[in-house]
Amino acid sequence: MTQAFDGIRVIDFTQVLSGPFLTLQLALLGAEVIKVEPPVGGDQMRDRMLPSPHASHGMASPFLALNHSKQSLALDLKDPRGRQVALDLIKGADVVVHNFRAGVIDRLDLGWEAVRAVNPKLVYCALTGYGSTGPKAAEAAYDGAVQAASGMMASNGHADTGPTRTGYFPVDLFTGACGAFAVAAALFRRERTGEGQYVDLSMLDSALAIQAPSVCQYTVDGMVPSLIGNSSATHLPTADCFPTADGLVLMSATMQHHAEAIFDEAGIGQLLSDPRFADTASRRANAADVRATIIEAFAADTAANWAARLGRRGVPIAKVNSIAEAVAEPQLAHRNILMEVPAPIGFQSPMRLTGAPFTTDADGPTASCAPPVLGQDGGEILRGLGLDDDTIGALRDSGVVAGPTC
């Protein structure tokens, strides 16, 4: 089997979510990813960010989710000896990814100009909150702050609650996905030109890109998106969230044939001859009546049954699932998005972790190894650079490196 990135070595200086998600996408397609972490504590996601019963031993579940299929080297980049180890790794690498704030990487003397001097064919991706240059370049950024800064929050929420952030991390994860594409494109360009490339990746830019339709409604039409709750940007009353006998469904019913199917399946098809409900314009003008009518009809059956019944008739509809219900969906098992990953050190059984959001007919994404404990692969990596055991021991004793194999 030859995966797309077989033979590609990635030196990964990233932490938290966006950068690790980026490098995970490369690892799933065969890249060798060496995750370089601080020797004390490691990646913040190991134990300091999101609650997990495994945080006490540095293997919190959010860390596991984004760092399987990688190796870990615990290395102090602030020590000149640690920087030299990093440079030696970079000399033999194809890709470097970091998500330090602008200016930090230069203080470590591992910025673009410094590293391309030793490896001119390198693809170098700098992932920051607001970009590597500009008035906000040095500011720290997390997903929630960028949701606020990008206008994303202002179109998410209900009028009576005000703007809200999402319960997951769309900016982080979409930025990582964009970065994986950008790195892949830079590698493809290198195949054609023989040249390395600097990729400047911004969370704020990515947040604008993922909102492209809403942004262009403003820049082109002069329309500012408003809070619409669970309804649709179409402002159609059939495109909304509705209670049923036992739960909620979300419909994105925007076409005339969708409305006809809903009314007919609910046993109220005769109401389509009512001038309030006859067509799209009349339903929009009488939105409160339409909503009340659908709610009354939907009380007669369960969310799962309404989703099945209307789904068969071509209506875009789904039961509002919990994460537990979503993970149990048979379609996900069929797609293998939750792949089995070997048990990490300290765990007894393999675990199901998210993989790539696509499949291929050959050489597709696979999990190559368990998420590593901090510094798990340090000895092997350092010996691969030609360091002998005495030198590695001295680095360990002085705190420059750490890990069970050093």
Residues with catalytic function: 172
Angle at Cα 64 formed by Cα 61 and Cα 70, nearest 5°?
Answer: 170
CB 205 within 8 A of CB 186: no
E-strand spans in 110-236? 123-128, 157-158, 162-163, 197-202
18 — phi, psi (to 5°)? -65, -50
Residue 241 makes CB contacts below 8 A (sequence gap 6+) with: 229, 230, 231, 248, 249, 250, 251, 320
Q: Six-digit token pair at 208?
A: 């604008």
Q: Six-digit token pair at 5?
A: 């990135």
Cα separation, 379 vs 403, whole angstroms: 8
**Coil, helix or strand at residue 129:** coil
Side-chain half-sphere CA neighbours of 283 within 13 A: 26
Within 10 angstroms of residue 40's Cβ, the number of other Cβ atoms is 10
Q: Six-digit token pair at 382?
A: 């350092």
Cα separation, 21 vs 169, whole angstroms: 11
What residue type is assigned to position 405 of the chain? T
- H/E segment holding residue 1: none
CA distances from 160 to 153, 156, 163, 164, 251 (A): 14, 12, 9, 11, 22
Cα separation, 303 vs 247, whole angstroms: 5
Q: Six-digit token pair at 190?
A: 């290198």
